Structure 1
C-alpha cells in the first residue's frame, strides 16, 4: 500500500509539473514572443522565399508601440486562419500614396488611413497581396512584431528597418 501511495504521489507531482510547463509555454507563445516561419516572395529581400524563422514579440502592439517601418505579423483580412508578415507604411491619419495593383495603367492613388487602422505592404510590391488590394487593416489584427531572425544562420540577428 505504501508503495502505491509513493507512485501516485510521484505521478501527481509529474502531472502538475507538466501542466505548469505547458501553461508557461502557452503564456510565452501567446503574450510574450513566438517563433514564426516567414516564407513567400512578398517580403523579399527582407525574408527569404524559402523561409526564415523569426521571433515575433507580442507586446508592442498591445501598448500602441507599432510604428511605420516595423514588420508585423497580421491576421489576413481575407482569411483569418492565415498569418501574413508585412511592413507598416502608415498609421491612422497618415496619407499613403500607392500604385493600384488592379489598374492596367499603373494609376497612383492617395488615401488617408482611417482611425484604428494601419497600412501594410510587402517589401516586394510586385508579388505582395496587401493593403493596396484589401485596404487599411484594423489595428486589432496585428498579432506581433517581427524583431529577430533566428534562421538561416547567415541572417541571424535583428530584423532590419
Structure 2
C-alpha cells in the first residue's frame, strides 16, 4: 500500500516537472502574455491592456522600426518597459524636441536600439536613458488581447517619428 502511494506520488511529481519544463520553454522561447501599465504608449496601448509578446523575432534578430517591444528597464532589471522601436543600430536619431532651436542628433551604436513611447509628453524612454542594448529586448508585441473591443494587431505609431529608409 505504501509503495503504491509512493509510486503514484512520484508519477505525479514527474508529470508536474515535465509540464513545468514545457511551460517554461513556451514562455521563454515562444511568447508570453503581458499586462501593460502606465500612460507611455497611449493611445496605442492604455493602462491595463493585455498584449501577447512573441519571442521568436528577438531570437532571429527580426525586430524592425515601428515594432512595439517589451524590454527590461535599463534602470530597474526587475521591471519591464513597453515602447516602440524608433531606430536600429547605425540610425541617426533627432534627440531634441520640435521646439528646440538647435537640433541634436544621436547615432544608435552597434548592438543597440532606440525606444520611445507613443505618448511623447508622458514617457520615460531612450530620450532619457539613451539607446538600450538589443539583449534587453524580451519580445515583440504582436497582438492586443484585452479589452475585447480592441482585439487585434497594433496600430502604427501616432507620432510619425519613424522614417523608413532604403535599407529597411
Q: In 2, Cα distance between the equivalents of 1:123 and 1:6?
A: 60
- Residues 52-96 of structure 1, C-alpha deviations (whole Å, 9 max, x = no match): 111111121111100000000111111111100000010011111
Which structure has the highest strand share of the two? 1
Cα RMSD between the aligned structures?
Answer: 1.8
- Gaps (5+ residues) in structure 2? 157-168
Question: What is the Cα deviation at residue 25 of structure 1?
Answer: 1.3
Tell me: CA distance 1:107–1:47, structure 2 relative to 1, closer, same or farther (3 Å). Answer: farther
Residues matched between the structures, number: 156
Runs of 4+ in 1 over 4 A off after TM superposition: 104-107
1:120 matched to 2:115:
yes
1:58 counterpart residue number: 55
- Residues 108-140 of structure 1, C-alpha deviations (whole Å, 9 max, x = no match): 321111111101000000000001111111111
Q: In 1, Cα distance between the equivalents of 2:101 and 2:42?
A: 21
Tell me: CA distance 1:6–1:83, structure 2 relative to 1, closer, same or farther (3 Å). Answer: same
Q: In 2, Cα distance between the equivalents of 1:95 and 1:116?
A: 14
1:139 matched to 2:134:
yes
Matches within 5 A, 1:29-108: 29-49=27-47, 51-100=48-97, 105=100, 108=103
Q: In 1, Cα distance between the equivalents of 2:7 and 2:35?
A: 41
Does the 8 Å CA contact 1:149/1:157 hold for their aligned counterparts?
yes
Say which of 18, 22, 25 aligns to 1:24: 22
TM-score, normalised by the number of residues in structure 2 = 0.86
What secondary structure sits across from 2:104 in the alignment?
strand
